[in-house]
Structure 1
């Protein structure tokens, strides 16, 4: 399993574990209170909650331990593996504190020291455990895969294209299937002279896409310059922080290497990315 798959599994498991923490902690407190009583048999609801609350949580934290270890091995960090085992136990069952809970003195809420310490450990080596941030990052990867396959999408649609609108409308159908919030987006890219409207807006990953269509080298170079002039117009809306310019050409007009050189010399901001797509 590769790093991306392990990170996805880890984020999903951590999110699930955090959501279960409060209920499992309360169940553990009920068990602790029952042990103080002079009773022979525990109540049936405690036994039932062991099956529905405690055991699934333990299995989840076991999975988190093993997945984190596998992730560290995948990225080849032997020193951090030693530190991980020192902090969280050398083997799966060597440190049972994964099912121990504490109370936040400020909020009065229960939390898992294991989950908190693990999140800090992962953050220290550049692995985010923020589910929203991770899935946004994963979403960008999905989008880039779609943009890279613009030519194939248009070819498979069976439609001949001869304008920018025809190009981005073909691709937009695919993007809307992956990112439903693309359907009716809103933006505030409004300047004194005009309102800037990117072809595709995807609020869930804070991304805007602009398509350009060219049939000659001269038109292609002109559209790159046009985007460079428009960059300052795409400011003032904090909902969008990443911008893509996709240049679709009917033939390989100048070659990808030349295109990249022209793009580079325009000194676009770091949050602008370009794709040079040759039609089929």
Structure 2
């Protein structure tokens, strides 16, 4: 969870605690009529003081977080409560089951709205983090101490990466079904908690790149669903064929970059990651060769 989301979570926790304290006192003094001090006016003033404190806390939180709409609504409600006379802050509403505090109920709504902001930021952070987890999987799925051989198929890449993802996303779904009117689609991995689908592609030679590109574009159209917002394509190369930047350039030019990302994992380390002996053993033919330009994708997307 990012620092801002943690800050919002702390603010929401403090607000909920203050609301609970005010509600307990409200139920005891206003609804039940059990007076702590033997002085009805003094007890009512105590309840009013606590409710006003919650108003002020939410105003401060909304102002601090830049939530001008919530801040404006809370100010209006606070003014209305102050102008309500003797029963302003302690106004009782009649619900379907039992009476309740009008203002404390409203203050809980504002707190829930602030909490949503933190949840959204947290989800965005996790979505970003999952891309880093997928890139870091390169070491795990190629570790010779764990797997005697590199992945030999798309299914092996899929299963090895899912083994890592399950540690972070216990709600992971293996091949979730997307039901459509004419054809059902079944992406490789679903992460419901962050509304993200992951598809794996296995690339062994440059000639396969245009075919996989067509598959990605077709899959993204089919995977469109109200339950999923983000799509990640993990392209596993048995050797270095196309850089990640070119795959994402393809997505950008196809109008998919807003919610779709490509991540490349290679079974062969980049030249600057390899040891001098490994670089020498490859020969000089591969060194200094620039990545192929996007024009070599072939007729991607043509029918």
Tell me the equivalent position of 1:146: 133
Tell me the equivalent position of 1:166: 156
Tell me the equivalent position of 1:7: 5
Preserved contact between residue 189 and residue 199 of structure 2 (Cα < 8 Å): yes
| C-alpha RMSD over aligned residues | 4.6
Question: In the superposition, relative to structure 1, how do residues 63 and 165 fare at CA in structure 2: closer, same or farther (>3 Å)?
Answer: farther
The aligned runs of 1:1-280 (5 Å cut-off) are 4-11=2-9, 13-14=11-12, 17-18=15-16, 21-22=19-20, 24-30=22-28, 33-35=33-35, 38=38, 108-110=99-101, 111=104, 129-130=116-117, 133-156=120-143, 158-159=146-147, 160-183=150-173, 186-190=176-180, 192=182, 194-235=183-224, 237-268=225-256, 270-279=258-267, 280=269
Preserved contact between residue 244 and residue 264 of structure 2 (Cα < 8 Å): yes
**When the two structures are superposed, what TM-score results if normalisation uses the length of structure 1?**
0.62
SS at match of 2:211: helix
CA distance in 2, matches of 1:219, 1:186: 26
Question: In the superposition, relative to structure 1, how do residues 186 and 247 fare at CA in structure 2: closer, same or farther (>3 Å)?
Answer: closer
CA distance in 1, matches of 2:211, 2:2: 38
Question: In the superposition, relative to structure 1, how do residues 129 and 201 fare at CA in structure 2: closer, same or farther (>3 Å)?
Answer: closer
In structure 2, stretches of 5+ residues that fail to align are: 40-49, 76-88, 270-303
Question: In the superposition, relative to structure 1, how do residues 68 and 37 fare at CA in structure 2: closer, same or farther (>3 Å)?
Answer: closer
- Structure 1 residue 214 displacement after superposition: 0.8
Preserved contact between residue 10 and residue 68 of structure 1 (Cα < 8 Å): no
1:106-125 CA-to-partner distances (Å, cap 9, x unmatched) read: 675442666655676x6xxx
**When the two structures are superposed, what TM-score results if normalisation uses the length of structure 2?**
0.59
CA distance in 1, matches of 2:213, 2:17: 47
CA distance in 2, matches of 1:188, 1:169: 20
Preserved contact between residue 191 and residue 197 of structure 2 (Cα < 8 Å): yes
Preserved contact between residue 11 and residue 130 of structure 1 (Cα < 8 Å): no
Tell me the equivalent position of 1:43: none
Question: In the superposition, relative to structure 1, how do residues 189 and 112 fare at CA in structure 2: closer, same or farther (>3 Å)?
Answer: closer
CA distance in 1, matches of 2:91, 2:165: 44
In structure 1, stretches of 5+ residues that fail to align are: 40-54, 88-99, 123-127
Preserved contact between residue 5 and residue 122 of structure 2 (Cα < 8 Å): no
CA distance in 1, matches of 2:151, 2:221: 29
SS at match of 1:129: helix
